[in-house]
């Protein structure tokens, strides 16, 4: 029944498709992008209920005046701008770290085909846990510590995972340890990088 579980995301998308037209646009989008002050105030009242939102509106107006002098760049202009190279390098490194770690190949290594859907479900649950956990601790520790700690944890977990994969032919229970290490790796990646 794993195919039913995977189709659940399609059901959620259908529900969003049906109900999103009844929700107003984002107030910052209406004000900052469209310049629609009355639409912004109307959306604020519709989203947050009746009240005085002049403080929030004034904050958005200040943001609009600051961003007015900022030039909006397309992708090629961003790539040509040398001042953003450090940020682009870090972002590229983070994206490549998951793609090149071999996790997708490891997920099915030495596992019985009958438990692979459960591993996929576990991966999704671990991603959810890491998102919730990271969002609650990122302000406390900061990004740098979470990045370093995440990469350090990922390295340790990958060593343990490789060891468990090497021993999985001798000890069948090591296959389940491999699954646990995969889950821990995903949590470490989600909390850190």
Q: According to the 3-state scheme, what is the secondary structure of the chain?
A: CHHHHHHHHHHHHHHHHHHHHHCCCCHHHHHHHCCCHHHHHHHHHHHHCCCCCHHHHHHHHHHHHHHHCCCCCCHHHHHHCHHHHHHHHHHHHHHHHHHCCCHHHHHCCCCCHHHHHHHHHHHHHHHHHHHHHHHHHHHHHCHHHHHHHHHHHHHHHHHHHHHHHHHCCCCCCHHHHHHHHHHHHHHHHHHCC
Q: For residue 101, what pLDDT is reported?
A: 55
Q: For residue 104, what pLDDT is reported?
A: 56
Q: For residue 79, what pLDDT is reported?
A: 81
The pTM (predicted TM-score) of the whole model is 0.47
Q: For residue 103, what pLDDT is reported?
A: 56
Q: Split the chain (193 residues) into runs of 10 and give each run's mean pLDDT.
A: 69 80 83 83 85 82 76 77 83 67 54 72 78 74 76 85 84 82 83 75
Q: For residue 40, what pLDDT is reported?
A: 85
């Amino acid at each position: 029944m794993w195919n039913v579980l995977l189709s659940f995301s399609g059901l959620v998308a259908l529900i969003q498709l049906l109900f999103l037209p009844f929700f107003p646009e984002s107030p910052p989008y209406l004000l900052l992008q469209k310049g629609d002050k009355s639409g912004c105030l109307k959306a604020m009242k519709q989203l947050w209920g009746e009240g005085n939102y002049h403080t929030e509106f004034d904050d958005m107006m200040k943001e609009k005046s600051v961003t007015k002098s900022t030039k909006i760049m397309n992708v090629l202009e961003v790539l040509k701008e040398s001042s953003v190279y450090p940020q682009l390098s870090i972002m590229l490194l983070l994206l490549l770290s998951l793609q090149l770690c071999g996790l997708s190949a490891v997920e099915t290594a030495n596992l019985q085909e009958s438990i692979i859907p459960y591993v996929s479900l576990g991966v999704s649950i671990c991603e959810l846990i890491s998102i919730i956990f990271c969002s609650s601790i990122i302000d406390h520790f900061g990004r740098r510590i979470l990045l370093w700690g995440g990469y350090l944890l990922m390295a340790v977990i990958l060593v343990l995972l490789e060891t468990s994969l090497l021993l999985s032919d001798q000890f069948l229970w090591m296959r389940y340890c491999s699954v646990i290490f995969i889950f821990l790796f995903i949590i470490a990646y989600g909390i850190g990088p």
